[in-house]
Chain A
Amino acid sequence: MNDKNPAFAKEAFARLCASEAEGCPPSQADTNILAAWKSTIRSIPKIVRLLTRNCMYDKADD
């Protein structure tokens, strides 16, 4: 099995969500599949992530 295949990642993510919904910890196998898949993905620069704020609302002053 190719752990870097996104199809396997989708299945593992769906199973992980189902475990979460049932209040169970994720299986080690699924955690490993997602970790292997994630290692092939480049991370998003923080400056890009900062552009994500919901457009319709102001940030409240502290």
Chain B
Amino acid sequence: MTKPTIELWLELETRCNLHCKFCFNYWKDGSASPPRRLQSREFLLCLERLLKVVSCSKVTVSGGEPLLRENLDEVLALLRTYGTPVILTTNGVLLNPLKIDWLMRAGVQTFQLPLHSADSATHNFLSGGDCWKNTISALIDLIEAGANTVPVFVATGLNVSHFLGVLRACSAIGIKTFIFNRFIPTGLGTIYKNSIGVPTEPMVWKVLREANILAEQLDLEIQLGTPVSVPNGERNAFTRIGLASCPVGHGQRRWTMDTAGNLRRCNQSGVQFGSLLEGAEEALLREVVGAYSQRSHTQGMNHCGILAQQGLIQIST
């Protein structure tokens, strides 16, 4: 039988060497403990249980900071065994030319690095550490190595207007693809949301309209990482922006696996679907087989449930 295909967000590490004020790790606000870190052998066992029943069209290795994980090499080797494309989301602090070369040889195809402003002070403030120079250095090292490099911009009330500057600056070093994540106040973001601000939809629309014009001029692509409700009649105007839709729901194709071997539906929520130590892969298989082929035709645009719950978006009926 052909295995169903999913995409996996792999939380490989709970620890981080930065303290981003918008961090969405659900335990960062102190309301919950972080998922426990399984020993290497157990973690690999869980991952392999999942890979045996589903194909992953891509795995995004994340955290925390995934480069802090001591057995990253074993995880990448396992993913390579299954021929899975790997995206690494890292803050870039620990990258250097040797590490980049090693990661690319180990199968990492795309590197996603945060860049929240061309202004060092703004980037450092949002990142909770003096890391802007590391990011600038890592971006050059990645491009020098021929790595597919994608800056990730988290749009808060503080920096949303800085997105155009990030596009212009990165375009000068040949970067073509960007991710724009609207800030969703979960995790540490719930603590800092008043100081960094949650951009309103009109603020986001304004920047995205301008970004689309700039992207056309500079031949860039922008992918939204979190859903944005585009006003009626404007979707076709976003020629360079890939809109996003919340995947959460029965038969969903995107799943999160954490350091404890738990499967979750949403990487911004701690709600567990089940543990791979206890056979959650079978439940996932039952759900996705047959369900998502139907879903793919009816999906449309789903809003972010977290933003809706917090009253941060207006959903027209």
Binding site for B on A (CB under 8 A): 6, 9-10, 13-14, 16-18, 20-21, 26, 31, 34, 37-38, 41-44, 48-49, 51-62
Binding site for A on B (CB under 8 A): 7-9, 58-60, 85, 87, 109-110, 112, 117-120, 122, 133, 136-137, 139-141, 143-144, 146-150, 152, 162, 165, 168-169, 172-174, 176-177, 179, 181, 221, 223-227, 235-236, 242-247, 253-254, 256, 266-267, 299-302
Q: Contacts A14-B133, A62-B235: A48 and B225 contacting too (C-beta < 8 A)?
A: no
Give A44's nearest chain B residue, CB to CB: B148
Q: Which of A6, A17, A26, A48 contacts B110 (CB 8 A)?
A: A48
Which of A34, A59, A62 has the most B CB atoms < 10 Å from its CB?
Answer: A59
Instruction: Give chain B nearest CB distance to A39 CB in angstroms.
Output: 10
**15 further A-B pairs in the complex, CB-CB below 8 A; given A42-B146, A58-B246:** A9-B140, A13-B169, A31-B172, A41-B143, A41-B174, A44-B148, A44-B176, A52-B87, A52-B150, A55-B9, A56-B247, A56-B256, A57-B254, A58-B253, A59-B245
B136 partner residues in chain A, CB cutoff 8 A: 10, 13-14, 17
| Cross-chain contact B221 with A49 (CB below 8 angstroms) | yes
State the majority secondary structure of interface residues on A.
helix
Q: How many inter-chain contacts with C-beta < 8 Å in the A-B complex? A: 139
Q: Which residues of chain A are near B300, meaning CB under 8 Å?
A: 60-61
A57 contact set on B, CB distance < 8 A: 224-227, 244-247, 254
Contact A60 B173 (CB under 8 A): no
Q: Report how far A37 CA is from B299 CA in the complex, Å.
A: 44
- Which residue of the partner chain, among A10, A34, A53, A60, contacts B137 with CB atoms under 8 Å? A10
5 closest Cβ contacts across the A-B interface?
Answer: A21-B119, A55-B60, A54-B225, A60-B243, A60-B245
Q: Which of B8, B118, B236 contacts A55 (CB 8 A)?
A: B8
- For residue A58, which residues in chain B have a CB less than 8 angstroms away from its CB? 244-247, 253-254, 299, 302
Are A61 and B140 interface neighbours, CB within 8 A? no
